[in-house]
A and B are shown apart, each in its own frame.
Chain A
């Protein structure tokens, strides 16, 4: 009994330490009383309505009546909070946007949390608040989830996995194979803000005056383009690898190429300064709230007009044209020359999403 009492006293001290210091302990992931208290204190108030109510082992969802879109993504960004966003918000936008650019309306989300022992509870609360607010804004419900705690050093603070289900919107028929020479290539806003914001935060470059992440939902942009759905060929959010990766992948193996105009590539002043300073090609840097859209030439102006009418599309522009030059992605430079736009290689920006 004496031994048991010692263990209990130790555990009580640990629980006391949690209240006192507000840290995640391994016991929070053990499935016992502390797990329960973490879920009740932090998860239930934010997500415990709808299908998550009562915390069943699996969510029961209504029949969405039509084809579904399903995706998953994991988020390991460092730092967890960065100018313009945090890992919670990003975990919603990343998955929601993948559904949107496939022509889906996002409905439901799962959230898997992997917490590192020692994680500050108030930081966790801020991130969960941000995640919940982002889900609300996108009109998605968190319907199922999971929380694990790993020992100190086995993850870097907090990792999040989200999976999402959406309903396919009628009218869209999207795919790289739909792209035709003469099509317009549009960007919904300035590019590369997320990647540069995270990198500047990591490297303590331009603190306070540097770029702000563009992490945000694109569902309203997709809805705004839906009137021209039949003329939209392909959409993608230019995340890791940036515009260069998306455009190269889009035309790879097709009879088409793309010519981008350096003059028309939208870049915010702070992001441009940071990219200049660090010597990065903005076409390789990630955005987390933008769309690249390929459409028939006649749809270009109506889509740009519709985009410019909503805040997240106000700086939208046409930045290139599809050519008949198979697989070749070129940039018409300001100096009047042309150069290849290659896929980025290797480790450009460590852990930006």
Chain B
């Protein structure tokens, strides 16, 4: 853990924070009030948990992006998962349990007798399927590139000799979502703070289309407080110099080409399709699903289930929160009808959701700041 301590050093944080202040001063002279989108839900949570907003210059705003896999999963997927749980033992990441579907959540289905198990690692589902060959076992495979790699490894492990194992997939890709955001006129983003672990898979080169002339600074940062502060410093420095390039602050993990082995494994088992994002809509080629020849591992074809869009709750503004158009307190349901105990939208459920982060960790800010 000494390794981690280095990225939490208070003295080093103070040094970066003072640099941020002077860079923000320069930007102020040019009339720039930078809006930075942290794309990834883990960043959203780390920013909130470490009180990062508190140390930023007041003119710098951080906007949470669509990088929380639970948050962008359609209510119809939950409906399909509940249906699967009536026919099989279902393994899911714990965050999914309380996400409202069109009517029920997996937690209420479990209380009514559905066989739903939260797990930390997808391999728990594989172990269960091996130990219970007579029992159909379904893993709810949701996530971005970071999760897609182990999901492809699951497929490789199950391909031969595990006929009772299948997956209900809702796997999504980060770059197509960024492309959709930058082409949306309602969205105003000056720079991207790019994900850490997703980038380890896809590589820093994947952000090239969003940088360059007419583009935005794209800085990849780790999840430790100093990583994030330094990543923001790199963004402010680029903006102050009128630059927009891909910068890799997380070079200790992320390579330009990414993890080629994982990429090959993914493309062996998965193919792109036009995926629906909760609150955002269909984005071309933004999802991955199992290739046709692996249909036996696909819970949809195996059980004749179809993931429909489902019915999103009325009044919920998760879509606008996910696009960075709205901060969570701007939603009329926030902290009223929608709380972590009684979530209406997925952003309030997930441990990486912007609304949950805002609710749980927000600083009690002086009036006029952060709200």
Q: Interface on A for B, CB 8 Å cutoff? A: 203, 205, 263, 269, 272-273, 276, 278-279, 281, 325, 328, 330-340, 342, 345-347, 350
Contact = CB atoms under 8 A, between A and B. Distances in A.
Contacts of B121: 203, 205
Contact of B54 (A269, A337, A342): A337
Given A337-B54, A346-B98, 19 more contacts: A203-B121, A205-B120, A279-B351, A281-B49, A332-B51, A333-B54, A334-B225, A336-B13, A336-B17, A337-B51, A337-B52, A338-B363, A339-B49, A339-B54, A340-B363, A340-B364, A342-B359, A342-B361, A345-B340
Contact of B363 (A263, A272, A334, A337): A337
A243 to B, nearest CB: 14
B361 A340 contact: yes
B241 interface: no
Contacts of B351: 279
A349 to B, nearest CB: 10
A206 to B, nearest CB: 12
Nearest to B97: A347
A336 to B, nearest CB: 5
B134 interface: no
A175 B13 CA distance: 38
Interface string B1-25: 1001000111001100100000000
Contacts of B17: 336
B362 interface: yes
B124 interface: yes
B361 A339 contact: yes
B274 to A, nearest CB: 31
Contact of A269 (B1, B48, B52): B1
Nearest to B226: A335
A333 B364 CA distance: 14
B362 A335 contact: no
A347 B118 contact: yes
A339 B97 contact: no
Contacts of A273: 1
Contacts of A350: 118
B98 A339 contact: no
Contact of B55 (A276, A281, A335, A342): A335
Interface string B80-98: 0000000000000010011
A336 B364 contact: no
Given A203-B124, A346-B98, A347-B118, A334 B10 contact: yes
A342 B17 CA distance: 26
Q: Which of A269, A325, A333, A337 has the most CB of B within 10 A?
A: A337
Nearest to B228: A335
Contacts of B363: 330, 337-340
A334 B10 CA distance: 5
A150 B10 CA distance: 55
28 contacts: A203-B119, A205-B120, A276-B4, A325-B364, A328-B364, A332-B51, A333-B51, A333-B54, A335-B8, A335-B10, A335-B13, A335-B51, A335-B226, A336-B13, A336-B54, A337-B50, A337-B53, A338-B54, A339-B49, A339-B51, A339-B54, A339-B362, A340-B361, A340-B362, A342-B360, A347-B97, A347-B118, A350-B118
A338 B361 CA distance: 9
Nearest to A269: B1
A281 B362 CA distance: 15
A205 B17 CA distance: 36
Interface residues of B, number: 37
B229 interface: yes
A332 B55 CA distance: 11
Contacts of A334: 8-10, 13, 50, 225
B341 interface: yes
Contacts of B54: 333, 336-339
A183 to B, nearest CB: 20
Interface in B48-68: 48-55
A278 B121 CA distance: 10
A203 B120 contact: yes
Contact of A336 (B10, B118, B359): B10
A205 B119 CA distance: 11
Contacts of B9: 334
Nearest to B127: A204
Closest 3 CB pairs of A and B: A337-B51, A337-B54, A335-B225
A339 B364 CA distance: 7
B166 to A, nearest CB: 22
Given A269-B1, A279-B351, A334-B8, A339 B50 contact: yes
Contacts of B14: 336
Contacts of A331: 51
B256 to A, nearest CB: 27
A279 B14 CA distance: 25
Q: Which of A334, A335, A338, A347 has the most CB of B within 10 A?
A: A335
Contacts of B340: 345-346
A128 B158 CA distance: 42
Given A269-B1, A281-B49, A347-B97, A337 B55 contact: yes
Nearest to A341: B361
Interface string B343-371: 00000000100000001111110000000
Interface in B122-155: 124
Contacts of A325: 364
A346 B229 contact: no
B345 to A, nearest CB: 15
B131 to A, nearest CB: 13
